[in-house]
């Protein structure tokens, strides 16, 4: 289970799968092993489909997928990546993110379920948010400032991940992906159309930057 922390955590060790570790490499081992896959883009059907449950725990195929997702997330300079963003219809996402307090969080989770937060305890924060499948535009999106996700690791072991602030936003964003939702769906229609126009204008430049970084990293 993840180690809880308050709004100003003193323990700034890296959290790997929710647990603090004394040292961790700049590049996750999974990203070193993995291959880069194409990231799906808004408008593709798989991003609108509710993903299937992971059932093949402990398999080489699932391990390879996690590695590839980490590698893809790295070359895209992302905070998190869901399986349907690499054209795989499974309830799985990875993350590598530093929160507002300087704490780095790294990990993956399968079949995630967000805990319900009672209305009296909900606190929404409006912050800018982007998406690797919506290359280019960012928009202000309200999200809960605290999130707890329950699921499993790649070997089928139960997992509980807690996030606050930016990391909580990431957990909610990636869980949305697995339901077939994008952050665009949380925008007013006019804002959504404007964001899609911006994406069309900027996506080639974003794709070129990702390809260049992949080449630089030998991916």
Cα distance between residue 63 and residue 37, in whole Å: 15
Q: Is 54 exposed, middle or buried (0-12, 13-18, 19+ CB in 10 A)?
A: buried
Q: Which residues pair with 55 in a beta bridge?
A: none
Beta strands (DSSP E) in 47-175 are 80-82, 92-98, 104-114, 124-131, 134-144, 146-152, 158-164
- The residues that bridge with 97 in the sheet, in sequence order, are 105
From the list 97, 91, 72, the residue with the least C-alpha distance to 167 is 97
174 is catalytic: yes
Q: Which of 32, 53, 174, 205 is catalytic?
A: 174
What does each C-alpha distance from 20 to 32, 41, 92, 110 come to in angstroms?
Answer: 21, 34, 22, 20
Mapped onto helix, strand or coil, the DSSP state of residue 43 is: coil
Helices in the chain by DSSP H: which ranges?
A: 29-33, 60-75, 165-178, 189-216
Residue 206's nearest CA partner among 76, 78, 42 is 76
Cα dihedral 41→75→211→46 (10° resolution): -20
Catalytic residue numbers read: 174
């Amino acid at each position: 289970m993840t180690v809880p922390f308050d709004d100003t955590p003193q323990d700034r060790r890296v959290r790997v799968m929710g647990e603090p570790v004394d040292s961790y490499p700049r590049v996750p081992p999974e990203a070193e092993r993995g291959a880069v896959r194409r990231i799906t883009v808004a408008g593709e059907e798989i991003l609108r489909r509710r993903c299937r449950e992971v059932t093949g725990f402990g398999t080489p195929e699932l391990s390879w997928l996690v590695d590839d997702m980490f590698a893809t997330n790295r070359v895209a300079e992302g905070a998190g990546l869901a399986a349907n963003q690499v054209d795989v219809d499974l309830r799985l996402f990875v993350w590598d993110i530093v929160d507002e307090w300087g704490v780095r969080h790294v990990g993956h989770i399968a079949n995630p379920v967000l805990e319900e937060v009672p209305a009296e305890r909900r606190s929404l924060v409006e912050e800018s948010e982007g998406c690797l499948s919506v290359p280019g535009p960012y928009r202000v999106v309200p999200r809960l400032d605290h999130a707890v996700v329950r699921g499993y690791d790649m070997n089928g072991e139960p997992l509980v991940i807690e996030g606050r602030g930016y990391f909580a936003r990431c957990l909610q964003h990636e869980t949305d992906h697995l339901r077939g939702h994008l952050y665009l769906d949380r925008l007013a229609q006019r804002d959504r159309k404007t964001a899609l126009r911006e994406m069309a204008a900027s996506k080639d430049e974003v794709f070129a930057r990702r390809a260049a970084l992949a080449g630089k990293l030998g991916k």
